Amino acid sequence: MTISSSMNAGVAGLSANATRLATISDNIANSATYGYKRVETDFQSMVISGTGGGYSAGGVRTLTTRLIDQGGSLLTTSNATDLAVRGRGMLPVAKSSEVALGNGENQMLLTTTGSFRTDADGLLKTEGGLVLLGWPANPDGTVSEFPRDTSDGLEPVRINVSQMTGEPTTKVNLGLNLPATETNAASDGTTQPLSVKYYDNLGKSETISFDFTPTIPGAGDSNEWTMTIKDSAQGGAVIGEYTLTFDDSRASGGTLMNVATGGVGGIYDAATGSVIINVAGGPMEINIGRLGTSDGLTQLSDSFAPLSISKDGSPVGNMTSAEVDENGFVHASFDTGITRIIYQVPLVDLPNYNGMIALDQQTYMPSPESGPFFLWDAGDGPIGDVVSYAREESATDVAGELTDMIQTQRAYSSNAKVIQTVDEMLQETTNIKR
């Protein structure tokens, strides 16, 4: 029994070292594979209880583990949508074959890196057919709250390079000087006009007209103006009317002292220095400056001078490029200079990364051994961030694998020697009968 158990142990040793050599070969073969996670072989002894003081060799068995939680270093690339995860977390992807079915039932797979480029349909996918998944953004660039313990809200990230967009104007900042001489009793009361172009909800150009009419007193100076606001999109209808009174004291001369509404338009907000008016497309904020400051309207000297007129919004433009920031937001850039968030790519976390099921193309699938997954915002909680223009290199250390190969070869040869020795001993036992 003891001799035959030695033979069995030697055979088990050959099998175990052959398994280790297979994992070493796989690791070395994938030393240049982006995102590859090395496989490690562990040896476990098998013990067989002997009887009558004898000992029976139990041999050895192996357990292979893919070390998914061990990543490689990051390598800089020239493609904006080459993505890698720095730290904890994995990117959600799906097979393009499933996405093409269009039934919305895409099996979420996980990976730590990928070279994503747009295909003919605008999908961000790798050469191997892995499509990046994300939460779609609303038209205003915000992302709604989606469930974090399921992948049901994730959609394939689609970059429509032929997409056009425009930003409506929602705020106008007025910085101009009104002539103090025009509020004198001797003035002719000339109205000072100002036109500001804005963009409506469809990207069309419209005009807000401001008319500043001085109040002419019977004697001296009134330091008072009536500001009338009209909207071209409503046929020139008056949408705001305000009485502006300026300070003439030594400390604050020329600054706004009071703003009163004439019954049309929103009430002046002294904290922000703005009023809310309603153009054809909705409310718009007009900032005329805070009381006692010179950051908006002033009344000095004898000249009407628009000093600083600014506004938000933009005309309709074409998409030119897309990038992913460190928080996983996909930004689309347009030739008008604006950017808009169109998707958010979350990072997926699990309790046991090494318990996932390994699939082709450096992708993994959650399993009962890996534990339940959770979708985090990149850079939040225990999760790392997303790095664009980067790929994760293979986790294989070639020098270490070659060293393990030498050890495995020696162990394999030694086990073969054990089998040869047992064979010779059995031969000697056979010769006793002669």
Give 136-148 pLDDT, tens digit per residue: 999 888 999 999 9
User: Rounded distance, CA 98 to CA 104, Å?
Assistant: 9
Residues in the chain: 434
Choosing from 312, 342, 374, the residue where a domain stops is 312
Note whether 93 and 179 are same-domain residues.
no
Q: Are residues 302 and 354 in the same domain?
A: no
Q: What is the mean pLDDT of the chain?
A: 91
**Within this chain, do residues 335 and 412 fall inside the same structural domain, yes or no?**
no
Q: Are residues 342 and 388 in the same domain?
A: yes
* Whether residue 288 sits in one domain with residue 225: yes
Asked if 288 and 367 sit in the same domain, the reply is: no
Q: What is the DSSP letter of 382?
A: T
Is 68 exposed, middle or buried (CB count within 10 Å of its CB: 0-12, 13-18, 19+)? Answer: buried
Compute, in degrees rounded to 10, the torsion defined by CA atoms 255, 258, 261, 267: 90
Instruction: Kindly state the percentage of the chain with pLDDT values over 70.
Output: 97
The per-residue pLDDT for range 247-293, each reduced to its tens digit, is 999 999 999 999 999 889 999 999 999 999 999 999 999 999 999 99
Q: Residue 340's beta-bridge partner residues?
A: 332
- CATH number, domain of 210, equals 2.60.98.20
Residue 13, classed as helix, strand or coil, is helix
Using 50, 70 and 90 to split pLDDT, how confident is the model at 53?
Answer: low
- Average pLDDT over every residue of 353-380: 94
Of all residues in the chain, what percent carry a pLDDT higher than 90? Answer: 72
Q: Convert the pLDDT of each residue in 395-407 to its tens digit.
A: 999 999 999 999 9
Which region among 23-37, 50-64, 286-300, 303-317 has the lowest average model confidence (pLDDT)? 50-64
DSSP element (H, E) containing 392: strand 390-392
Neighbours of 130 (CB within 10 A): 24
88 — alpha (psi -120 to 50), left (phi > 0) or beta? beta
* Number of domains the chain contains: 3
Residue 318 confidence (pLDDT) above 90: no
The residue among 285, 312, 339 that closes a domain is 312
Are 107 and 94 a contacting pair, CB within 8 Å?
A: yes
Q: Are residues 381 and 293 part of one domain?
A: no
pLDDT of residue 338: 80
Q: What is the pLDDT of residues 199-238, one digit of tens each?
A: 998 888 999 999 999 999 999 999 999 999 999 999 999 9
Among the listed ranges 91-95, 284-288, 333-337, which one has the minimum average pLDDT value? 333-337
Q: How far apart are CA 128 and CA 298, in angstroms?
A: 63
Contact of 343 with 137, CB cutoff 8 Å: yes
One-letter amino acid of 210: F
Residue 179: partners with Cβ closer than 8 Å, 6 or more residues away:
192, 299, 301, 302, 303, 304
298/371 same-domain check: no
**Residue 215 has what DSSP assignment?**
P
**Among 96-100, 294-298, 314-318, whose mean pLDDT is lowest?**
314-318
Question: By C-alpha distance, which of 85, 76, 79, 99 is closest to 35?
Answer: 85
pLDDT range class, residue 434, cuts 50, 70, 90: low
Q: Are 350 and 366 in contact (CB under 8 A)?
A: yes
Flag whether pLDDT at 410 surpasses 80: yes
User: Do residue 212 and residue 285 come from a single domain?
Assistant: yes
Q: Which of 267, 292, 312 is the last residue of a domain?
A: 312
Domain that holds residue 227: 169-312
Provide CB contacts within 8 A for 32, sequence distance 6+. 394
Position 366 scores a pLDDT of 95
What local confidence, expressed as pLDDT, does residue 99 receive? Answer: 87
Q: Tell me, what's the pLDDT at 163?
A: 65
d(CA 352, CA 366): 9
Q: Which residue type, as a one-letter code, is found at position 3?
A: I
Is the pLDDT at 162 greater than 60? The verdict is: no
Is 274 found in the same domain as 184? Answer: yes
User: Does residue 1 surpass a pLDDT of 60?
Assistant: no
Query: 373: Cβ–Cβ under 8 A, 6 or more apart, which residues?
Result: 149, 348, 349, 350, 366
DSSP one-letter string for 248-306: -STTTTTBEEEEEEEEESPPPBTTTTEEEEEETTEEEEEE---TT-SSSEEE-TT--EE
271 and 201 housed in the same domain? yes
For the chain, helix (H) and strand (E) counts, in that order, are 3, 31
336, pLDDT greater than 90: no
* Whole-number pLDDT of residue 253: 95
Burial class (CB in 10 A: 0-12, 13-18, 19+), 388: middle
Same domain, 256 and 307: yes
Confidence band for 50, pLDDT divided at 50, 70 and 90: low
